[in-house]
Structure formats: structure tokens, C-alpha cells
Amino acid sequence: MNAFDEYKEELEHFEQMYGRERGRLAVSLDRMTNALVLVGQHGVYCTSHRNPMVPAMDLRIIAQELEHAKQLVQSVMEELKRARERRDGNAGDR
């Protein structure tokens, strides 16, 4: 099943609330957050051999990549919001 089928209701909800692009980005952020939670939970059981107090290196790398992806998606959402606000603000000036 693809993402559009699996998250159909969530996509419809957020696209209605935020618009198509920002809605899809919001759902993407939710998926990345869920993945981060799962990686964190797995990190409790899969620890580094050198330092059992921290997750294994591969889990730390996965978590870092997901966190960076979230930051990039959030920046796009903010830029879309600013662009819409500028557009809507300029529409009132006409």
C-alpha cells in the first residue's frame, strides 16, 4: 500500500486545514516523528557495545537523519506559510 492510500484520511484532514502542499508536509512530519519514536524505543534495547548507555551507532545515525529531514520539511512549511501571508497581504493592497 502506498502512502496516499495508507494515510488517506489524515492527508484529507491536513490538506483541508493547511492546503495541499503544507498538508502533505504535515503528514510527512508526523510519519518522521513516529519513526523517531520507534528508533528511540529500539535504542533502549540495541545499545552500543562500547558504551551501553547510548544507542548503537546506526540508530544514532538514523535518528539524526530523520531529525534533519524534519528540520528541512519544517523550513519548507514555514516558507510556504510566509509566501501565502505575503500573497494574501498583497491581495488586500489592490
Residue pLDDT, tens place only, 29-50 = 999 999 999 999 998 888 888 9
Counted domains in the chain: 1
- Tell me whether residue 16 is in a domain: no
Q: Can you give the pLDDT at residue 32?
A: 96
**46: domain range?**
36-63
Q: Can you give the pLDDT at residue 77?
A: 92
From the list 6, 3, 1, 25, the residue with the least C-alpha distance to 14 is 25
Sign of CA dihedral 45, 51, 55, 56: negative
- Tell me whether residue 81 is in a domain: no
pTM of the model: 0.81
Largest CA-CA distance found in the chain, in angstroms, rounded: 65
- Tell me whether residue 40 is in a domain: yes
Please, which residues have CB within 8 angstroms of residue 80's CB and are 6 or more apart in sequence? 19, 21, 22, 25
- Tell me whether residue 6 is in a domain: no
Segments in the chain below pLDDT 50: none
